[in-house]
Amino acid sequence: MLLNQLHVKSPQGHYFPASLDQALQVVRDGMRQKYQGGTEFTSPMLVKEYLWSQLASLEHEVFSAIFLDNQHRLLEYVVLFRGTLDQASVYPREVVKEALRLNAAAVIFSHNHPSGSPDPSEADKLLTKHLKEALKLMEVRVLDHIIVAGSGTTSFAERGLL
């Protein structure tokens, strides 16, 4: 089994096989190190890979954003809101405040569907529209909204929903 190949060190200095959650945390941490500030997010596949590593294994819904400069380089990945099993409350005012704090020129939104279906709901579409309108006033472009579910992802941009 793959997890038997990955070991973690206890505070006492002993090594033991990693749990699935520990292994996934190692992947998330590795992806954050790989894609540090300044990384260019110019490929949709790269963005999906990064977001999948951050959101796929979560059992609760999370709404996050990749804030970018005008060259689409990573300023910061931020988990903006944490929700329950099937929903997360998102407040456009708080999203705008974070974009302004980071002096972002563009943003890519993402959230996960722990249910396993990557299809956007009508609420997802409406929220994206409201966020796009609010950020447009601040001259921040919304490049995409990606839903992560199970092993799949759905891009609003690729589906023509932006």
Supply the pLDDT for residue 1.
Answer: 45
Residue 31 pLDDT > 60: no
pTM for the full model? 0.78
Supply the pLDDT for residue 71.
Answer: 93
At 3, is the pLDDT very low, low, confident or very high (cuts 50, 70, 90)?
A: very low
Supply the pLDDT for residue 19.
Answer: 67
Q: pLDDT > 70: what percent of the chain?
A: 83
Under a CB-based contact definition with an 8 Å cutoff, are residues 107 and 66 in contact? yes
Nearest to 128 by CA among 120, 119, 117, 137: 120
At 86, is the pLDDT very low, low, confident or very high (cuts 50, 70, 90)?
A: confident
**Phi then psi for 19, rounded to 5 degrees?**
-80, 170
pLDDT digits (tens, 9 = 90+) for 123-134: 999 999 999 999
CA angle, 159 as apex, 122 and 147 as ends, to 5°?
60
Supply the pLDDT for residue 140.
Answer: 98
The residue among 87 and 143 whose pLDDT is bigger is 143
Residue 115 pLDDT > 50: yes
At 97, is the pLDDT very low, low, confident or very high (cuts 50, 70, 90)?
A: very high
